[in-house]
Amino acid sequence: MQIDMKQPILDKNDQLASELRARFAENRVFVLDLLASPGSGKTSTILATIDALRDEFNIAVIEGDIASNVDAERIKAQGIPAVQINTGGACHLESAMLKRAVDVLDLARLDLIIVENVGNLVCPTDFDLGENAKVMILSVPEGDDKPLKYPGVFQVAEAAVLNKVDTLPVFNFDREAFESAVRQLNPQAPIFPIAATKGDGVEAWAEWLADRIREIQ
């Protein structure tokens, strides 16, 4: 006899995610779930996105990490509300974790919540958080073969951000092969090449996100 524990966990997660989604919709808050490996530049991408959008939208950030509050403190230093979730070893965020973070935010005053999921290319793809969109960040140093190795995360993403493109001359990264693999997995997903720490390419990415936010306001 085999007992599948995964489905009951996902069912419970999805039920709460649906409740969160309704709550976000009621308050017209766009929730972005960012998925990426450790070191891909999630936090630097978030900071660049905040700089590009903060004049138009009220933004908060929810940081998911196994431990520490380093990234949340970097966000707060920019005057942006940030809530830290420490998973204590779990490789992904779940809707129950997100709810606890959301409960301390004033949704009526927000337009955008950026969720920085735990650095992982596998586990977070299975867990609905009630978000409006999942977006995948890959950095050039990680290699152009990641869509082939981790297809699931690229399939669920509504857009892909290719970060650290300023390092292309240094690494053996086949950008054409990467983009072709992404389009085969997810033909509708736009690909945004950026260098987050320098601001290169951020405008196009931020405008895509801004359009999505405006759609629900």
Which pLDDT tens digit goes with each residue over 135-178? 999 999 999 999 999 999 999 999 999 999 999 999 999 999 99
CATH fold for domain 5-78+87-215 = Rossmann fold (3.40.50)
Q: β-strands 112-116, 30-36: how paired?
A: parallel
0.85 exceeded by pTM: yes
Cα 94 to Cα 72, 90, 178, distances in angstroms: 18, 9, 29
Instruction: Check if the beta carbon of residue 200 is closer than 8 Å to that of residue 194.
Output: yes
What phi and psi, each to the nearest 5 degrees, are found at residue 194?
-140, 160
- CA dist 180 and 139 (Å) reads 16
